[in-house]
Amino acid sequence: MRLRMEYDCFGFKRLDCLLNADDSQHARAEKFVKSIVGELIGIPEYVIVEVCNVVAAKAGQSSARAFLKALSENEYFSILFSSVEFYHSVNSLFIEREWSGLSFVDVALIHLSKNHEIITFDRKLQSFIRARSE
């Protein structure tokens, strides 16, 4: 049985869909965000770095800065800062097996899924999370 914490973790794919109006999942992401108004959403700092890099590459530095500004001013998002212990735990988990194309950040979300509900549109990541919780 998993304990649901006071916030959910918001993954990269969901943020990318929300920020990109041309994404096939954009409407779904918008609908989801509207459904959770009033809830606190945790975003791991690794996800923020990943989103910033993608936004900067796709839309430019000004868009990446706007994303960070909006994130820091939003009362519904809480940044989950990493620690030395968390890094070492994720690093060990990443090294110990083949993750079939998942990134280090994805494995960090899998690790967080032990204590948090992970919200993602990434089907591959979701299948690993489900398998780990069973």
In the prediction, which pLDDT does 3 show? 24
Give pLDDT tens digits for 23-57: 777 787 777 767 766 667 788 889 888 888 888 88
**Nearest one of 74, 71, 34, 36 to 51, comparing CA atoms:** 71
- H runs (alpha helix) in the chain: 12-19, 26-35, 45-59, 61-73, 84-96, 104-112, 123-133
CATH number of 7-129: 3.40.50.1010
In the prediction, which pLDDT does 11 show? 54
| Three-class secondary structure of residue 41 per DSSP | strand
In the prediction, which pLDDT does 87 show? 96
pTM of the model: 0.72
- In the predicted structure, residue 108 carries a pLDDT above the cut 90: yes
Per-residue pLDDT, averaged over 107-122, amounts to 86
Give pLDDT tens digits for 84-96: 999 999 999 999 9
Phi-psi region of 32 (alpha: psi -120 to 50; beta: other; left: phi over 0): alpha
DSSP symbols for 78-116: EEE---HHHHHHHHHHHHHS--TT--HHHHHHHHHTTTS
Domains of the chain by residue range: 7-129
Look at 70 and 96; give whichever has higher pLDDT.
96
Kindly report which listed range (10-14, 37-41, 42-46, 79-83) carries the lowest average pLDDT score.
10-14
- Across the chain, what does the average pLDDT equal? 79
Question: Which residue do the tokens 């939003």 mark?
Answer: 74
Look at 106 and 24; give whichever has higher pLDDT.
106
